[in-house]
Structure 1
């Protein structure tokens, strides 16, 4: 009997010793992986730290440090994914910074009171080195504003684009041609030209185009070479006549990027050339531009030094000698201590739309509108309100000529992917512009459309108001302010110039709104 007990004790000891040795071994492996993960985390290499923390979480899902740091990695790499919520909830008692992240996530879920509670819990824990109380107050203000704006919904509707334009991947920066029959946009969908992934596991950017036939948008197609390459290629602006496409293209080493422009010649896009205006800089990011109708002013965003904070909106103007001025910051009325991006100057030349993380803001980026007066002063930016804006990022807005339809990008929850393209219908647009349409043709010697340039000049001030170009079918669209008189000059290679006047101070006839102009060939 005593021998049996001795044997059992020896066996038990051996099992316990083996188990203890295995535990020590596992702890060594765990700690070694944790050390490697923490090194990447400390260097803000969240995409490199993420796989380590995923493995560590699979081993010990209750470890507060692992839960918190895995949550931060997912929050950054996967752009505030809600998968972070349980991780921050698990770690909030040991890492009070979790409350700060939870506030942003509950805001994203529309739980504004819960978000405010989390922010307040973080403030009660005392200021942390990496997160200031001012920053927390900034996010708390967003929650208060979101509650207000959702209760005071504007007279607009928003719908998600279908017909294959939006996918589970990111689609953004919609651009419309003047006839509103072609939609250009940027996508990070599978099947990109280079089929390469960036450090955040997203495909490189390519430009796509969809055509509207019988009021239906067709499945988009990759626009192909020479616009798309194996690196990042994103559309950023389309001239008001639809003949110049501006793109943002990165260098082969992805260390920098610049704005390029491509010309449409008989339906084919030319090899993009580096844009000549003083916009591109070596050590800053300039990835959004918009060109005024008169082609003499360009608005763009940049994070170059000397701004008011983050990205600011600047402009350059064409000088009398046809060169471009140095960039000028639009000033503190437009630019806040936070990011301003994606400017869009309306065809009226005085209404500027842009997105901002500052001002009176309900989400990430909100879309704002400002108007320039006769003294070149900008009005206080007006938030377009809910539902055009949401509690997510709303950016890259463009407007139709009459201001009744807008197209923009958003990563709101009801979308199909990371970022989707939306169409907004504004039922009471604040616009007073008058749209004139027509065709430029010739009967000399036979009827055919004429590709021409239309210059609009203010009759009294003699100032240039806009330069427009007809499309390949000779059609044009002009956007003019009422109560003014204009001189119109139409020029085309091989034809005599044609001049006329448009008197917007008088009542316009149907002939004025839809005007066909016949050109005479030079003998």
Structure 2
């Protein structure tokens, strides 16, 4: 809930100076009046001495304690400030004119996480005050939050929070951790003078490297703050404030990585950025949806979460406010969209919680929008500010920053936690990764790599392998059958298929070697499926068949032979007939798709040209296949 700063002891105490003072001691009143004048002149040291003398002459002088509390507040001496308020309520327990002291004590107790004390003080304030404005409203919010905190603090989930290694937490302030999908690269923001984005790498035995600047191209003499990195680590969206030419006080910028080099950052433009404050980005796993925070006009609160999507041409669409299911009249910040694209984590000080900013999550429903946000719970959320959360693809680990305040000083630490089963995502994710190279030379290729959900024949994601390394990475969601295709102009495309089991979320490795288009080249169509002991094509084959159609349309001068093969089970005659019929089924589909018959031929080869041993079912599956060969 929102922390209220009180700048006037007059407002805090709830008194007006037309009322008579509580002291009748003339010397005490004289010292008090002199202190009041000195405070108006901002001579707080002399005013302090006068107030101490006034209290010595009259220990029951309430107004002197309140003036003294104001000086302690200016000095950031919390303990003495609230000692002064305690003196007032002890001496004038039921006086409505001093109800504000009860409020101040209650607010202080709430901010320290002493919820039972906060209830005692704030309920007394509500009993005494006739005020119905901002302070009464804030008191009611703190009362509601205290009840919530007392109830839910008993639901102590076993998060096992632990600071990240000291080599990472070596600065006074480090916050907003984000990781790549493989959890091998950690980025975070360090505030040390200006803000910079730092990078750590995890080695093969799990140790983190010392933080270094992500890139001199990205970090500058200005502020580079909160950032989000795509799942494959090759697209970075970050915040930059005060210095770069932009649209507002803070803008969002984007940079792309090729090999080990980051491109010169580009402002994301007036479609995304506004004349206001735009910050705290979170990219979806495929880099096509962007969540961020803005205080632009037209929102529901002070800072709201917005979302933008890329169109088919790769242009960002006008951002939309994510709506009142998430945004409140206060501050809603630090969004993180899980790699599964279905759960949003964010921080808010406008909801029932433990105080300050708490972390919440909400699940996306295609028909009903966002679910009611759920407080992430204690001990992750506390009376201090928790302002960021990253959850691993499999939903079992979390990373966040925790702030602690001491007067003007703020210290923040990065933590790792275990996510309790009750709070884990319903649809977990993993990833497929590998590289694409030229078959003859092993030269890395920049190729299109597309992931197809074979249950729907729809493209889940399309990425490009790195032109320098050939590497790619795509996030997967559990419980689906996938086809994976690598394509590049002038080369035969390659395909693979696999399933992501709900119980086994290990990353999948698929490497591609692409052959140039030439006579004699062949490719296995790994996503052609037939019913058992049949030559009827299954619906899941449609994607691969359409890939062949596209390939032939792009290479109109070539002719191909469609070849069918079986394993060694069954008679030679039976296998020859089955392989021929399956090859013809593919031939017929392509002809129906508009390919001239003159460009096509088909042949069954039966149980021959084995790719693997027939001693295992896995090997026999590989041998039962359809290939096409370039014959001219």
1:437 aligns with 2:432: yes
1:366 to partner: Cα distance: 1.4
| RMSD (Å) for aligned C-alpha atoms | 3.6
Question: Matches of 1:409 and 1:463 in 2, distance apart?
Answer: 38
1:347-366 mapped onto 2 (5 Å cutoff): 347-366=339-358
| Deviation sequence 1:380-412 (CA, Å, 0-9, x none) | 212221222222111221111111111111115
1:321 to partner: Cα distance: 4.7
Tell me: CA distance 1:128–1:485, structure 2 relative to 1, closer, same or farther (3 Å). same
| Deviation sequence 1:197-223 (CA, Å, 0-9, x none) | xxxxxx322222222233222332244
1:437 to partner: Cα distance: 3.1
Q: Who is 2:202 aligned against?
A: 212
Q: Who is 1:232 aligned against?
A: 223
Tell me: CA distance 1:71–1:186, structure 2 relative to 1, closer, same or farther (3 Å). farther
Aligned equivalent of 2:108, options 102, 105, 108: 105
1:494-509 mapped onto 2 (5 Å cutoff): 496-503=492-499
Aligned equivalent of 1:403, options 395, 410, 430: 395
SS of corresponding position for 1:133 = helix
Tell me: CA distance 1:236–1:66, structure 2 relative to 1, closer, same or farther (3 Å). farther
Tell me: CA distance 1:164–1:375, structure 2 relative to 1, closer, same or farther (3 Å). same
- Structure 2: stretches of 5+ with no match in the other structure: 1-29, 56-63, 89-96, 519-632
1:338-377 mapped onto 2 (5 Å cutoff): 338-375=330-367, 377=369
Aligned equivalent of 1:35, options 35, 40, 43: 40
Q: Who is 2:604 aligned against?
A: none
SS of corresponding position for 1:372 = strand
Tell me: CA distance 1:84–1:506, structure 2 relative to 1, closer, same or farther (3 Å). closer
1:236-385 mapped onto 2 (5 Å cutoff): 236-252=227-243, 256-276=249-269, 278-282=271-275, 284-375=276-367, 377-385=369-377
SS of corresponding position for 1:146 = helix
Aligned equivalent of 1:155, options 149, 154, 158: 158
Question: Matches of 1:208 and 1:449 in 2, distance apart?
Answer: 28
Tell me: CA distance 1:506–1:262, structure 2 relative to 1, closer, same or farther (3 Å). closer
Tell me: CA distance 1:296–1:220, structure 2 relative to 1, closer, same or farther (3 Å). closer
1:343 to partner: Cα distance: 0.9
1:59 to partner: Cα distance: 7.2
Tell me: CA distance 1:97–1:206, structure 2 relative to 1, closer, same or farther (3 Å). farther
- Normalising by structure 2, we get a TM-score of 0.65
1:430 to partner: Cα distance: 2.8
| Deviation sequence 1:457-508 (CA, Å, 0-9, x none) | 4445555423445566555544333444444333468755434444569999
- Structure 1: stretches of 5+ with no match in the other structure: 1-23, 38-51, 76-82, 190-202
1:168 to partner: Cα distance: 5.9
Q: CA contact under 8 A between 2:231 and 2:473: conserved in structure 1?
A: no
Question: Matches of 1:296 and 1:497 in 2, distance apart?
Answer: 25
Question: Matches of 1:450 and 1:239 in 2, distance apart?
Answer: 20
Tell me: CA distance 1:68–1:462, structure 2 relative to 1, closer, same or farther (3 Å). farther
Q: Who is 2:187 aligned against?
A: 184
Q: Who is 2:486 aligned against?
A: 490
Q: Who is 1:48 aligned against?
A: none
SS of corresponding position for 2:145 = helix
Question: Matches of 1:485 and 1:517 in 2, distance apart?
Answer: 19
Q: CA contact under 8 A between 1:293 and 1:466: conserved in structure 2?
A: no
Q: CA contact under 8 A between 2:255 and 2:262: conserved in structure 1?
A: yes
Looking at CA atoms only, which structure, 1 or 2, has the larger radius of gyration? 2
1:420 aligns with 2:413: yes
Aligned residues: 462
Report which structure shows greater RCO (CA 8 Å, sep ≥6): 1
Tell me: CA distance 1:136–1:467, structure 2 relative to 1, closer, same or farther (3 Å). farther
